Amino acid sequence: MIYQISPDHHNLRHSSAWIITVLVFLKSTVCTPVLTEPSVSTDEAEGFLEKYGYLSHLHLDSDSRSAAEFKTAVSEFQWMSHLQVTGQLDTATLKQMGTPRCGVKDEGSHQVWVQRVNDVFTGKMSSNGPRTRRKRFAQPGEKWYKRHLTYRIVNWPRHLASGSVRLAVRTAFQLWSNVSGLVFQELPEGHTDIRLAFYEGEHNDGAGNAFDGPGGALAHAFFPCRGEAHFDMAERWTLNGQKGHNLFMVTAHEIGHTLGLEHSPVRHALMSPYYRKLGRTLVLSWDDIAAVQQLYGKPLGVQPLRVTGQVFSSALQEWELADVSEGGSGPARPLYCQGLFDAITMDQNQTLLVFRGNVFWTVSAEGNISGPFALQRRWPNLPLGIDAAAFSLLDSKWYFFKGKRIWRYSSSVLDAGFPRMSTDLGFPRHPDCAFYYAPLGHMVLLKGSRYSVLNLVTLRSEPYYPRKLADWTGVPKGTNGAVTRPDGLLYLFREQKYWMFDPLKVRVTRQGQWSGELEWIGCSSRTQQDNNIL
- Residues 92, 97, 98, CA angle at the centre, nearest 5°? 100
Among 142, 205, 502, 519, binds Zn ion (CB under 5 A): 205
Examine residue 104 and tell whether it contacts Zn ion (CB under 5 A). yes
5 assigned ligand-binding residue: no
Nearer to Zn ion, 205 or 502 (CB): 205
> Residue 386 Cβ, how far from Zn ion at the closest point, in Å?
29
Rounded alpha-carbon distances, angstroms, from residue 165 to 385, 415, 470, 480, 508: 17, 36, 38, 22, 36
Kindly state the greatest CA–CA separation across the chain: 83
Q: Is the dihedral of CA 529, 337, 173, 318 positive or negative?
A: positive
Which among 138-146, 168-176, 228-236, 321-329 is the span making contact with Zn ion, rule CB under 5 A? 228-236
102 assigned ligand-binding residue: yes
Question: How far apart are the C-alpha atoms of 166 and 320, rounded to whole Å?
Answer: 12
Instruction: Name residues contacting Zn ion, limited to 261-320 (CB under 5 A).
Output: none
Nearer to Zn ion, 251 or 479 (CB): 251
Site string for Zn ion, 489-518 (x = CB under 5 A): ------------------------------
387 assigned ligand-binding residue: yes
288 assigned ligand-binding residue: no
> Residue 203 Cβ, how far from Zn ion at the closest point, in Å?
5
Q: What torsion do the CA atoms of 288, 293, 296, 301 make, to the nearest 10 degrees?
A: 120
500 assigned ligand-binding residue: no
2 assigned ligand-binding residue: no
> Is 254 a known active-site residue?
yes
Examine residue 230 and tell whether it contacts Zn ion (CB under 5 A). yes
> Residue 216 Cβ, how far from Zn ion at the closest point, in Å?
13
> Residue 248 Cβ, how far from Zn ion at the closest point, in Å?
15
Which among 21-29, 126-134, 202-210, 307-315 is the span making contact with Zn ion, rule CB under 5 A? 202-210
Based on its alpha-carbon atoms, the radius of gyration of the chain, rounded to whole angstroms, reads 26
235 assigned ligand-binding residue: yes
Question: How far apart are the C-alpha atoms of 234 and 214, rounded to whole Å?
Answer: 6
Q: What is the DSSP letter of 282?
A: B
Q: How many helices (H) and strands (E) are present in the chain, helices listed first?
A: 13, 26
Nearer to Zn ion, 104 or 353 (CB): 104
342 assigned ligand-binding residue: yes
Q: Is the peptide bond before 466 cis (omega within 30 degrees of 0)?
A: yes
- In the sheet that 183-186 helps form, which strands lie side by side, from edge to edge? 101-102, 217-221, 228-232, 194-199, 148-153, 183-186
Nearer to Zn ion, 142 or 502 (CB): 142
**Of 107, 254, 320, 462, which one is the catalytic site residue?**
254
- As to burial, measured by CB atoms within 10 angstroms (0-12 exposed, 13-18 middle, 19+ buried), residue 122 is exposed
* E runs forming strands in 47-128: 101-102
Question: How far apart are the C-alpha atoms of 21 and 439, rounded to whole Å?
Answer: 12
Question: How far apart are the C-alpha atoms of 507 and 29, rounded to whole Å?
Answer: 18
- In the bound complex, which residue of the shown chain has the CB atom lying closest to Zn ion? 102
Site for Zn ion (CB under 5 A): how many residues?
5
Which among 66-74, 139-147, 226-234, 385-393 is the span making contact with Zn ion, rule CB under 5 A? 226-234
Among 2, 40, 102, 179, binds Zn ion (CB under 5 A): 102
> Residue 173 Cβ, how far from Zn ion at the closest point, in Å?
16
Chain Cα centroid distance, residue 109? 26
CB 461 within 8 A of CB 454: yes
Examine residue 194 and tell whether it contacts Zn ion (CB under 5 A). no
**Where does 369-430 have alpha helices with state H?**
375-378, 422-425
| Exposure letters 126-164 (e unless 16+ CB within 10 A, then b) | eeeeeeeebebbbeeeebbeeeebbbbbeebbebbbeeb
Site string for Zn ion, 152-191 (x = CB under 5 A): ----------------------------------------
90 assigned ligand-binding residue: no
Which among 13-21, 200-208, 286-294, 479-487 is the span making contact with Zn ion, rule CB under 5 A? 200-208
Which among 97-105, 299-307, 336-344, 383-391 is the span making contact with Zn ion, rule CB under 5 A? 97-105
CB 237 within 8 A of CB 206: no
* Contact residues for Zn ion, defined by CB under 5 A: 102, 104, 205, 209, 230
Which residues belong to the annotated binding site? 102, 193, 203, 205, 212-213, 220, 230, 232, 235, 253, 257, 263, 271, 342, 344, 387, 389, 434, 483
Which residues belong to the annotated binding site for Zn(2+)? 102, 203, 205, 220, 230, 253, 257, 263, 271
Active site residues: 254
